[in-house]
Amino acid sequence: MEAQSSSELLLSRKRKRESSNRETEEGERLGKIPRCTVGLKHPAPFADELVPDNKPYERVNMEEAKRGTPHRPVRVYADGIFDVFHSGHARALMQAKCLFPNTHLIVGVCSDDLTHKYKGFTVMNEDERYDAIRHCRYVDEVVRNAPWTLTPEFLAKHRIDFVAHDDIPYSSAGSDDIYKHIKEAGMFAPTQRTEGISTSDIITRIVRDYDVYVRRNLQRGYTAKELNVSFINEKKYHLQERVDKVKRKVRDVEEKSKEFVQKVEEKSIDLIQKWEEKSREFIGNFLQMFGPEGALKHMLKEGKGRMLQAISPRHSPDSSPTREERSPSPTFRLPFFTKTSPPPSPPPHHSGARGYLISEDDDEDDEDDEDDKN
């Protein structure tokens, strides 16, 4: 029953943390702040390098701290390992800094010996971890070689009013919760963990993709000895890198060929469309010129009509004058019997003999003479 109740308590706390994280993220997204320079110019000092304060130590209670203490800032202490310092650490320190209106944040960092004894091997050594915390903007003071369990003497020495940490029980060093006595004394100020990011998660990613990171560092100039890689594995990683380069080249060629094919298809479509437009225009022009009702046919008809009109003779008038209406024809005279020939007149008919002009009256006289002879 106790295990079930503790698990339910942990689940409810996790839900509260998730909801509070969502609210803070939404507030950060919606709210905007004016542009200003708020960064510090110097890292936080170490506690053992500061001038000691000889004033009597009087702790501030929670109500006074929330109202704001006019005579001095509230001294809040937060401790941890802070290995591979990440955004989860920074957010926890930010929450501790913002607990009260006027806060002086002291951060304790455990040494390598103490950390390796109670938690395990670290990626960064203690000096690197100290320096990382010093350059966090929320930190006012850093305590090196911080104790694993807080004692009253340590709290009094550093004039600590409250201890900030997430409220999940932290079992270590033979205790179910190393902050239990701090909670009972009313000096505990809870903060929220950032889900999805932790030092263990980062190390898990590196171990999971070990080969990728080894090959990455070999490319960057690290030797196999520095990476603790055997000769055979080194050759294997180099071979894998060459194979990957060939694959990347093939992939690049495929992508370029696809782009080329797409460009050719687009250009071919444009050419086909232009060819169709030109062909339609050519066919239309051809039909206008050589079609059944085209311009060429009209030109041929017009030329044929002109040719026929030029070749064919003029038509005679419909009504011809009668015999009585005809003008008397001139007398028949042979040109070689007269010295002077009369002026020529337009003959109505041409005879077969050349040089003779014979009228119809003369023809009738000739016929009468022939009858008399007979």
- CA separation for the pair 350, 248 (Å, rounded): 108
Q: What are phi and psi of 22, to 5 degrees?
A: -65, -40
How many C-beta neighbours within 10 Å does residue 138 have? 20
**DSSP bridge partners of 79:** 108
- CA separation for the pair 108, 33 (Å, rounded): 31
Question: What is the model's pLDDT at position 125?
Answer: 96
Q: Look up tokens 């919606």; give the residue.
A: 30
Structure tokens at 172: 């270590």
Question: What is the model's pLDDT at position 290?
Answer: 76
Question: What is the model's pLDDT at position 343?
Answer: 53
Structure tokens at 92: 């926890």
What mean pLDDT is predicted for residues 365-371? 53
Q: Is the pLDDT of residue 129 over 90?
A: yes
Torsion of CA 261, 266, 272, 274, to 10 degrees: -150
CA-wise closest residue to 158 among 147, 143, 178 = 143
- CA separation for the pair 90, 105 (Å, rounded): 13
What mean pLDDT is predicted for residues 287-309? 76
Question: What is the model's pLDDT at position 366?
Answer: 53
- CA separation for the pair 10, 133 (Å, rounded): 29
Residue type, 370: E
User: By percentage, how much of the chain surpasses pLDDT 90?
Assistant: 34
Question: What is the model's pLDDT at position 12?
Answer: 53
- CA separation for the pair 188, 161 (Å, rounded): 9
What mean pLDDT is predicted for residues 100-124? 94
Query: Model pTM?
Result: 0.58
User: By percentage, how much of the chain surpasses pLDDT 70?
Assistant: 72
Q: What is the mean pLDDT of the chain?
A: 79
Give the pLDDT confidence of 192-241 residue by residue, as tens digits. Answer: 999 989 999 999 999 999 988 998 898 889 999 988 889 898 888 888 88
